[in-house]
Amino acid sequence: MDHQHPRRLRRRLLGIGLGVAAASAIVAASFAPGVFAQAVQPQITVVSPAQTTSSATTFGNTTALQSLTVAETEGPYFKANSPEATSLLQDGMQGTVLTITGQVLAQDGMPVANALIDFWQANASGSYDNTGYTLRGHQYTDANGYYTLTTVEPGLYPGRTEHIHVKVQAPNGPVLTTQLFFPGVAQNSRDSIFDPSLVLDTQTNPDGSQSAIFNFVVATA
């Protein structure tokens, strides 16, 4: 489970030999749905101390870089090859409808087009579909780095607070594996995985559904 997918590893090795432009072409051309590596560990990106702040402070001509979105454990329920879908809703599905929108951004703040985002989560009762692909789906950001996910608010399951799992990958970047959390959930404070930087800013709409905005900041190379 800790190995890179052979195809991706091969692409990376090819990229080293062929240069960035050629590698980009290879990756773009072969970027098929559901190609996430299994359990790739988040890469550590080394940045200088001046680049670790997320403020807009500038140093000479260099604008400070945004902090990478915090990585979290994949957990036991990830499945590769999810269907491509921006809505995970199905007829008869229980739960509060939730729409999350946002951008995938590079550390310099530039939007990342064609980033792969793969979501998976428990249903409103706290159960994962481990035989099929209910509440699992991937999508790609548009030309301006935007994504939209329509789903339901996940339920609690033993030992965890409410969360949605996600993997995000810029076309030439490493996989970011993380989780999104919900505000005001009592179990947040008792969940060792919980991170306040990953809490959605959920708003309740007049029809009872919820909306949130969340931007991911990822490494792009």
* Chain residues in the site for Fe ion (CB under 5 A): 75
For Fe ion, give the closer residue by CB, 1 or 29: 1
- Find the shortest distance in angstroms from Cβ 8 to Fe ion: 24
DSSP calls for 56-112: --EETTEEPPPPPPPP----S---SSPPB-SB---TT--S-EEEEEEEEE-TTS-B-
Task: Give whichever of 33 and 75 is closer to Fe ion, judged by the CB atom.
Answer: 75
CB distance 19 to 26 below 8 Å: no
Q: Cα separation of 120 and 82, whole Å? A: 9
In the complex, what is the shortest distance from the CB of residue 160 to Fe ion, in angstroms, rounded to a whole number?
6
Least distance in Å: CB of 127 to Fe ion? Answer: 11
Residue nearest to Fe ion (CB): 75
d(CA 78, CA 160): 16
Measuring CA to CA, how many Å separate 130 from each of 119, 123, 134, 209?
A: 14, 12, 9, 26
Output 83 or 126, the one with its CB closest to Fe ion.
126
Cβ nearer to Fe ion, comparing 75 with 95: 75
In the complex, least distance from residue 78 CB atom to Fe ion, rounded to whole angstroms: 9
Q: Which is nearer to Fe ion, 14 or 193 (CB)?
A: 193
Residue 194: partners with Cβ closer than 8 Å, 6 or more residues away: 161, 163, 181, 188
Residue 15 structure tokens:
């990229």
CB of 126 to Fe ion, least distance (A): 9
